[in-house]
């Protein structure tokens, strides 16, 4: 009798779970949207979880499937969670800009109690996000970028020293550039000299690696935090290890205390954050000293300061280093384009006494086209996330998105769409000439996002990428080597788009003229 009852209980549980799963995986079908086939309970990310493909490859395949069916949107599943995927540019524009009030949040996991460093601008929601965004926006104006420009240029000295030591054999440019941007962000965000170019195993560089290293268990944890944030918050799950949290918090706290105690002023991001902490706004350049700061209501806390410094590091060093890596790879394959951009760099520098001034860097238009074309082919984020914060009728469609519905905008699919970019796999910087840009919908190029949630650090990212590429291309020539990846594969272990393994290139010093 006991055995019979147990069997009935288990059979009933299996049937209920099967019915629940079937209901979940027919959600989009009931609403009339097509979806990629689901072959397991992992939904449409089975190959990603098993490390058989990257997010970029997965999202590109989804986009191409919907495009081939002639639809404006489709459905997608991450495990049992339905995700709305628009591919029509007008719908995407409505979500990101025109109807932003329905999609104010990214829908990313946030646990301010256990993960204080993750309580930064990217993750914050609602009024908290809006208030902090208004406080931080003045720190990323062109004037403030100009203030930090020399700090970035100073880091090229170490870059030259490293490059000159490794010219006899193929160079892993991916590693060198990651160390270069680590030094830049360490200096600008934390006001410290990391010296990772000189010492590849320095603690700051190792901690930077730890942020982006993701094994199977970490991947599953992050996925569960994305699709079931309330459950994971109930268990007080943290995405950032206590060791990493303590390391970065300690650096920020010590830096702030030292600067305030000794009235130290540096032209960097940390200095701007300290102003926001102590005064609630940025002071004029002629009033930089700490003693001029007075009390006001609109301040940020030390914890908020630490979180913004952390995301500046997390988002700044990896995305810029991978962009430069992809760029040099493409230029090594296209020597005519490499020579054209080098000629522009030399010509511009000659007009500025050979110095990499802020104005000189901003004057390099073809270099910017080269970077934009790199970001088109290899966007740092292959998709953008939003969450429906109030019920939304999709314009032009018989579909209503419920509050809480997650949205995935397939950036890499849009960037590789032949409708917008003929021969999309070809590296062609002329796509971003002023004339060609005018003839194209701006929402067909969204590497930094768009609308009110556009990346606040886009100017800084472009500036440090331009400085790094200028320093390298004016002094070195890059070519494909026998160790260069062929074909190029994306890393399945990272949400940020990067190459799988090393990126070896042949490098040759250009004789000074």
Binding residues for heme: 455
What token pair was written down for 436? 């060609």
What token pair was written down for 235? 């268990």
- Cα separation of 202 and 349, whole Å? 33
CA distance from start to end of the chain: 94
- Cα separation of 81 and 59, whole Å? 16
- Cα separation of 149 and 345, whole Å? 17
What token pair was written down for 506? 């042949």
- Cα separation of 121 and 446, whole Å? 19
- Cα separation of 74 and 37, whole Å? 12
- Cα separation of 322 and 42, whole Å? 29
Helix 203-212 × helix 242-262 angle, to 10°: 130
Pairing of strands 504-509, 476-480: antiparallel
What token pair was written down for 136? 């931080």
Closest CA to 446 of 93, 137, 123: 93
> Does residue 176 contact residue 197 with C-beta atoms inside 8 Å?
yes
Query: Which residues define the annotated binding site?
Result: 455
As separate numbers, helices (DSSP H) first and strands (DSSP E) second, the chain gives: 21, 9
Distances from the Cα of 337 to the Cαs of 172, 298, 299, 377, in angstroms?
A: 22, 49, 48, 16
- Cα separation of 453 and 129, whole Å? 10
* Polymer length of the chain: 513
**What does 203-270 look like in DSSP terms, one character per residue?**
HHHHHHHHHH---HHHHHHHHHHHH-HHHHHHTT--SS-HHHHHHHHHHHHHHHHHHHHHT---SSHH
**What does 368-416 look like in DSSP terms, one character per residue?**
HHHHHHHHHHS-SSS-EEEE-SS-EEPTTSS-EEPTT-EEEE-HHHHHT
Helix 242-262 × helix 302-333 angle, to 10°: 110
- Cα separation of 188 and 268, whole Å? 5
Beta-ladder partners of 78: 43, 81
| Phi then psi dihedrals of residue 208, to 5 deg | -60, -40
Secondary structure percentages of the chain, helix, strand, coil, to 5: 55, 10, 35
């Amino acid at each position: 009798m006991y055995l019979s009852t147990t069997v009935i209980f288990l059979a009933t549980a299996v049937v209920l779970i099967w019915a629940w799963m079937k209901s979940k995986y027919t959600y989009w079908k009931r609403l009339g949207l097509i979806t990629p086939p689901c072959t397991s309970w992992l939904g449409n990310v089975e190959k990603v979880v098993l490390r058989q493909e990257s997010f970029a490859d997965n999202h590109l395949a989804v986009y191409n499937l919907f495009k081939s069916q002639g639809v404006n949107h489709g459905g997608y599943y991450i495990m049992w969670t339905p995700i709305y995927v628009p591919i029509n540019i007008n719908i995407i524009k409505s979500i990101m800009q025109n109807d932003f009030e329905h999609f104010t949040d990214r829908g990313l996991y946030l646990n301010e109690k256990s993960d204080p460093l993750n309580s930064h601008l990217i993750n914050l929601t609602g009024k908290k996000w809006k208030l902090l965004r208004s406080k931080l926006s003045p720190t990323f104006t062109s004037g403030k970028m100009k203030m930090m420009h020399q700090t970035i240029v100073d880091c090229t000295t170490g870059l030259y020293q490293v490059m000159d030591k490794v010219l006899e054999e193929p160079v892993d440019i991916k590693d060198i550039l990651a160390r270069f941007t680590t030094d830049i962000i360490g200096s600008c965000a934390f006001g410290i000299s990391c010296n990772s170019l000189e010492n590849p195993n320095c603690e700051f560089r190792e901690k930077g690696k730890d942020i982006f290293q993701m094994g199977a268990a970490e991947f599953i944890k992050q996925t569960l935090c994305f699709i079931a944030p309330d459950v994971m918050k109930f268990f007080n799950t943290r995405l950032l290890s206590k060791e990493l949290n303590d390391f970065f918090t300690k650096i920020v706290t010590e830096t702030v205390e030292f600067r305030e105690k000794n009235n130290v002023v540096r032209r960097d991001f940390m200095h701007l954050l300290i102003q926001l902490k102590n005064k609630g706004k940025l002071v004029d350049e002629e009033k930089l000293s700490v003693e001029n700061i007075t009390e006001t209501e609109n301040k940020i806390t030390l914890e908020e300061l630490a979180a913004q410094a952390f995301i500046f590091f997390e988002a700044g060093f990896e995305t810029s280093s991978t962009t430069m890596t992809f760029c040099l790879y493409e230029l090594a394959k296209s020597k005519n384009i490499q020579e054209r951009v080098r000629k522009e760099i030399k010509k511009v520098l000659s007009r500025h006494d050979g110095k990499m001034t802020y104005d000189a860097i901003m004057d390099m238009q073809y270099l910017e086209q080269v970077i934009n074309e790199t970001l088109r082919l290899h966007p740092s984020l292959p998709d953008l996330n939003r969450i429906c914060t109030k019920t939304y009728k999709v314009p032009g469609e018989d579909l209503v998105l419920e509050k809480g519905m997650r949205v995935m905008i397939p950036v890499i699919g849009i960037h590789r769409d032949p409708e917008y970019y003929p021969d999309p796999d070809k590296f062609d910087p002329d796509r971003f000439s002023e004339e060609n840009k005018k003839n194209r919908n701006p929402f067909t190029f969204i590497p930094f996002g768009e609308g009110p949630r556009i990346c606040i650090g886009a100017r800084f990212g472009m500036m440090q990428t331009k400085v790094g590429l200028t320093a390298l291309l004016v002094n070195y020539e890059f070519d494909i080597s026998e160790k260069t990846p062929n074909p190029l594969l994306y890393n399945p272990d990272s949400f940020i788009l990067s190459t799988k393994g090393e990126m070896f290139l042949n490098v040759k010093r250009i004789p000074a003229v």
